[in-house]
Amino acid sequence: MEFIKPGTHIDFIGRRKIAYVFSLFMIAATIALLVWRGGPNYGVDFSGGLLIQVKLDQKRTPAEIKTALESLGLQDSVVQEFGEEAELEYLIRVRKMDLDLSGLSEKVQSALEAQFGTPADIRRVEMVGPKVGEDLRQKALFALFYTILIIAIYISGRFELKWLMSGVMAVTLIFIVYVASIFGVSVTWLIILALLVSLGMCWFMNLKYALGAIIALIHDVAITIGAFALTDREISLAIIAAILTIAGYSLNDTIIVFDRIRENLRRFKRRPLGETINTSINETLSRTILTSSTTLVVVVALFILGGGVIHDFAFALLVGIGVGTYSSIFVASPVLLLWEGRARGKTKGAQVQSK
């Protein structure tokens, strides 16, 4: 099925500077939001706290449940509907770590019954300690880091047949992470350091496809986290799973475009690179629209009908798929053009020196 007629020529590359400004603005806004809020809004999974699952006899709003918990000092809790709507179950996330847990289940039950005048059933009460939360946060960040590392190795090996350089980059990164860990560098700074080293090595080792894919990936993840910061949503284990899914989706879309660029570079050797990239994006546009639209239909259905438990997960996918589709066209591919400009500058410099 083709949505775009053969021979269509939309000048995506000609609008790349507008896209650069838009992307830079979005990433700068994300950084500013995170700085203003003091970092990502980690959920109980990562920051530690208490999870209380309750079943009520009637449907209640989160605001009503918070009001009922005011007498226990839990009015700042996060309340979500849990399971099917007809089940009337709610998940209460409490971030306080200094709670007296003895008899807490009975106190919550009494507070809800006193407020609503109907029986309340406490299904479970689970405590996530700060150490467990920190361990989970570190493992989640390492999962993101190793995803980006493996992507860099795969892309550079597959598209540029530079498996040896990819191996050198992997060993170097693992060594840097190991040394930084010895000096007690936090996981967040460790990943930032590793990303900067990855980008620098891709640049100096001429791994242009890997560079484009990594920049697009960082772009997608950053904007998704920015959307969460803007809407004050929590980063939980489910959201990390969503971000890893977005990484896979973004990579898949980028590889399709890169594959066509590589094919067209062999076919049209004398054509300017910008024109070849533009032709390749137009040739894969039907597939991109078809894949994105069908995926979005499913994700929108999950977002609207999936209930409170997967609402944030669906929101992350919704943002990630939109941004991932945009970045494969306006971020990953133009990096190749920037690369050619760098190579051309080097050649001119060498010619000037030889004269």
- Order of strands, edge to edge, in the sheet holding 49-56? 78-82, 89-94, 49-56, 120-128
> Which pLDDT value is given to residue 26?
92
For 232-254, the DSSP string reads T--B-HHHHHHHHHHHHHHHHHH
> Which pLDDT value is given to residue 22?
92
Q: What is the pLDDT along the chain (355 residues), one digit of tens a residue?
A: 556 676 677 888 888 889 889 999 999 999 998 888 877 777 777 777 778 888 888 888 888 888 888 887 777 777 877 666 677 888 887 776 666 667 778 888 888 888 888 888 888 777 776 666 667 667 777 777 777 677 767 777 777 667 777 777 777 777 777 777 677 666 667 667 777 777 787 777 777 888 888 888 888 888 998 998 888 888 877 888 888 888 888 888 888 888 888 888 888 877 888 888 888 888 888 888 888 888 888 889 888 887 766 788 889 999 988 998 888 888 888 888 887 766 555 555 555 555 5
> Which pLDDT value is given to residue 164?
76
Is the whole model's pTM more than 0.85, yes or no?
no
Residue 301, Cβ density class (10 Å: 0-12 exposed, 13-18 middle, ≥19 buried) = exposed
Closest Cα to residue 115, out of 176, 81, 66?
Answer: 66
> Which pLDDT value is given to residue 131?
66
Distances in Å between the alpha carbon of 166 and those of 180, 209, 210, 262, 343? Answer: 21, 12, 10, 19, 21
